[in-house]
Each structure stands twice: as C-alpha cells, then as structure tokens.
C-alpha cells in the first residue's frame, strides 16, 4: 500500500487516516470563509443606501468579490505548489485580513471605488484559501466519503453565513429604514450627506475587529502542523500539462453556473423580496433564510450520504429540487415566492460536495491545478447576479431570476447524468 492511500480501517470515518484534528481545523477555516463571504447579501442593501446606488451599482459588491477568483486562482495554485499547505493557508488569511481592513476604512471614508478595491483584495485572499482547502478536504479520506467531509465543512460555512447577515443587520443596519427616510426628507444635500456618512461610519469597527480575527487566525495556522494529502512533503511538483478532459471542462462550466445560482439565491434574495415591496427592515435578514436552508441540506447530506444515497444521486435530487423551487417561485408572489427562493439553499447544499470531487476525479497528480480551474469558475458568483441586475428592469425580477436559476440547474442535472455514473479510477 502506498503512503498516500487510506487504510481500510478508516473507510467508515469521514476524517480518514489523518484523524479528526485536521478536519476540525479546516472546519474552523470554513466558518471564517462563510462569515466573510455571506456578508455580501446584506452589504448590497447597505451600499445601495450608503452610496445612493442603483441595483447595478450595488451588485458590484458580489461582482468584484467573486471576480477575484477568475484572476487569482491560477497564481494561488502556483503559490500553493511552492509554499505548501500550511504557509499557503496562513498567507490567504493574512491577505483576507488586509482586504477586510481596507474595505471598512474606505466605506467609512465614503469611497466606493476604494471599498470595491478592498473587496477585491479580500476575494484574492479567499481564492488562495479555496484553492488550498477544497482539494485538501476532498483528499483527506476515502473518495466515497468526500461529499460527507465537504458537507461538514458546509455546515460550518453556512452556520457562519446565517450569523453574518444577522450580526451586520443588528450592528450596522438596525435602522436602515429610518436612514432612508431621513435622507429622503433631508432639507439640503449637505444634510443628506451627513446622514449617509454617519450610516457608513457604523461599519468601520465591525470590519476592523473582523480583520483582527483573520490576522490572528493567520498566525495560528502559520504555527500549526497540518498534514498535506494534496502533495506530501518531499514529493516532486507535477510535470507536464493538465489534460482538459470532458469531465473537467464541463465541470468548470457547471461549477460556474452552480456558484452563480448559489450566490443569486443567497445575495439577491433581499433585492428579490424588495421587488414585491417588502420593507428593508425585513429583507436585510433574508440571506440568513437561504443559508438556513443550506444548513438543513448539509445535515440531510451527512445523514443520507453515502448510507442511503450515493453523492451522485444526492446531486441529481438536488438539481431536480432546484428546478421545482425555481418554477414555484415564479408562479407565486410575496413571502411565499421569497420562501421558495430560500428553499433553493436546501436544493444547493449537496451539489458542490458532489460536484467538486466529481470534476477533479481523473486529474491525477495535477489535482491542484484542476482545483484552481474550478475555483476560477467560482467567478460565476460575479457574473450571474450582475446579469440578474441587468435583466431585472428589462423582463422583471421574477422572470430574470427564474431564467438564470433554471439554466443552472438543468446544466447541473445534465453533468451529473453524464459523468456521475463513471467508475472512479484510483490508480
């Protein structure tokens, strides 16, 4: 048995031969990832008010954040190959700390372009973290339990995601409706700017604290000892070119659309609710509802996969559920339609845990590079919501949302039917 293989006595344990400590450590990192990432939903409403933006301008928040995946994923893979897992993770958290501090500083200074630059830096750090941590979790134990391990990560990620919009809403956006009304009724433009400036200032200290937490996490990882199942110490870097198999090529497209619809359901649900005339005091919390649905989905995945369902069958049922809830959202209105959008979180939960290991399955020694290409596809979170913002005034918010969601779920279903049944080659 080779040193990289997982002993059979660990096959029933999601943690594999490395035990639980590395899994717990990465779960903590996924909590941080979730908290930072899922702040974007309420941030869209926040910047729309603080900077008096249109929908298109406000949706630059997820656009810039996820665009970093497209530009930084390959450099992040190069850095990971040369720095190794532990130092790569520490660097990622340090970059995220800098980006978080910059965003808070520029928002407080009322510079939207500077705030977007801070989000870009934050996204670059998150890209570095994703390139390293996703294959790490996928390869930490037996392949047929990869979805189970990623579901554990998802629970931590979405638990943080539920807390993030609530914390931001309570600390920063607790009186957003009153701010909007006061700004609209301000006697002069100068008075209006004073009101909006005070509202923007409220975000500074929470983001400064979050930057400090990320920096401390960076130090903790830097001085820890984590195994590296992706590329064990002492092995050579992979040589030659990565083969762009149909599995990987279409996996990249599918990942692009999946992340796009996941971000759409989580970040755009507040805007979707406002389309029905629901008040900002309520819609600022809606992202937490989608993430609650995702967390329920992860729990179901942990219970059912692979005991009752294979991860491929879970992915197929999830994509079919996505089609159902997207169509139901189209043909209902008000709170019921918003609830259907939130249920897309439930449908989304077990797609990525099966999709990611499925796409990198035949990458061999080039798994880090294949992972980087898939992480580049996370930029779907930039483009799909922005397309929604552009289509919304043209065809209506419900039609725009449903068209994008259905496209994504149909492609996911096709990919699963085409590649999900192929036998895994472990050579």
How many domains does the structure of the chain reveal? Answer: 1
Q: Which residue has the tokens 């967390």?
A: 295
Comparing 125-139, 144-158, 183-197, 409-423, the range with the smallest average pLDDT is 144-158
Q: What is the CATH number of the domain that holds 333?
A: 1.20.1250.20
d(CA 127, CA 375): 7
Mean pLDDT of 132-145: 67
Report residue 260 as tokens: 């796009």
In this structure, is residue 38 part of a structural domain? yes
d(CA 35, CA 288): 11
In this structure, is residue 261 part of a structural domain? yes
> Which residue would you say has higher pLDDT here, 143 or 131?
131
In this structure, is residue 50 part of a structural domain? yes
State residue 1's pLDDT score. 39
CA 113 to chain centre: 23
d(CA 125, CA 96): 5
- In tens, the pLDDT along 301-350 reads 878 877 788 878 889 999 999 999 999 999 999 999 999 999 999 999 88
State residue 287's pLDDT score. 87
Answer whether 0.85 is exceeded by the pTM: no
State residue 229's pLDDT score. 56
In this structure, is residue 186 part of a structural domain? yes
d(CA 130, CA 378): 10
State residue 398's pLDDT score. 96
In this structure, is residue 234 part of a structural domain? no
In this structure, is residue 155 part of a structural domain? yes
- In tens, the pLDDT along 218-274 reads 998 888 776 655 444 334 445 556 667 888 899 999 999 999 999 999 989 999 999
Backbone angles phi, psi at 233, to 5 degrees: -60, 135
For residues 368 and 80, the answer to whether their CB atoms sit within 8 Å is yes
In this structure, is residue 6 part of a structural domain? no
In this structure, is residue 4 part of a structural domain? no
User: Residue 399 belongs to what domain range?
Assistant: 17-228+244-419
What lies within 8 Å, CB to CB, of 204 at 6+ separation is 104, 105, 107, 108
């Amino acid at each position: 048995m080779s040193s990289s293989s997982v002993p059979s006595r660990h096959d029933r344990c999601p943690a594999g031969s490395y035990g639980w400590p590395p899994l717990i450590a990465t779960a903590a990192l996924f909590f941080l990832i979730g908290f930072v990432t899922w702040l974007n939903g309420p941030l869209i409403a926040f910047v729309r008010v603080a900077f008096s933006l249109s929908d298109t301008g406000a949706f630059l928040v997820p656009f810039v954040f996820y665009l970093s995946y497209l530009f930084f994923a390959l450099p992040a893979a190069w850095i990971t190959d040369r720095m190794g897992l532990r130092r790569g993770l520490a660097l990622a958290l340090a970059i995220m700390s800098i980006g978080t501090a910059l965003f808070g500083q520029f928002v407080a200074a009322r510079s939207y372009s500077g705030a977007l630059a801070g989000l870009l830096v934050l996204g670059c750090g998150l890209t570095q973290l994703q390139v390293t941590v996703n294959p790490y979790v996928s390869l930490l134990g037996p392949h047929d339990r990869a979805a189970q391990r990623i579901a554990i990560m998802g629970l931590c990620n979405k638990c943080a995601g539920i807390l993030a919009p609530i914390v931001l809403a309570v600390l920063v956006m607790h009186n957003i409706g009153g701010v909007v009304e006061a700004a609209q009724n301000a006697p002069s433009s100068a008075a209006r700017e004073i009101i909006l400036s005070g509202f923007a200032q409220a975000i500074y200290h929470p983001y400064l604290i979050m930057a400090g937490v990320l920096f401390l996490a960076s130090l903790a990882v830097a001085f820890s000892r984590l195994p590296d199942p992706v590329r064990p110490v002492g092995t050579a870097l992979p040589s030659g070119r990565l083969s762009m198999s149909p599995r990987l090529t279409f996996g990249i497209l599918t990942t692009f659309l999946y992340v796009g619809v996941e971000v759409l359901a989580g970040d755009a649900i507040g805007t979707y609710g406002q389309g029905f005339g629901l008040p900002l005091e309520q819609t600022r919390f809606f992202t937490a509802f989608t993430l609650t649905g995702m967390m329920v989905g992860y729990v179901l995945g942990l219970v059912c996969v692979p005991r009752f369902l294979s991860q491929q069958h879970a992915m197929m049922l999830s994509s079919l559920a996505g089609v159902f809830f997207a169509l139901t959202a189209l043909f209902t209105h008000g709170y019921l339609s918003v609830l259907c959008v939130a249920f897309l979180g439930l449908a989304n939960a077990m797609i990525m845990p099966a999709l990611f290991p499925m796409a990198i399955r035949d990458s061999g020694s080039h798994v880090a590079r294949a992972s980087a290409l898939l992480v580049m596809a996370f930029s779907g979170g930039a483009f799909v919501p922005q397309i929604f913002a552009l289509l919304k005034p043209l065809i209506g918010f419900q039609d725009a949302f449903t068209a994008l969601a259905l496209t994504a779920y149909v492609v996911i279903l096709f990919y699963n039917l085409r590649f999900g049944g192929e036998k895994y080659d472990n050579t």
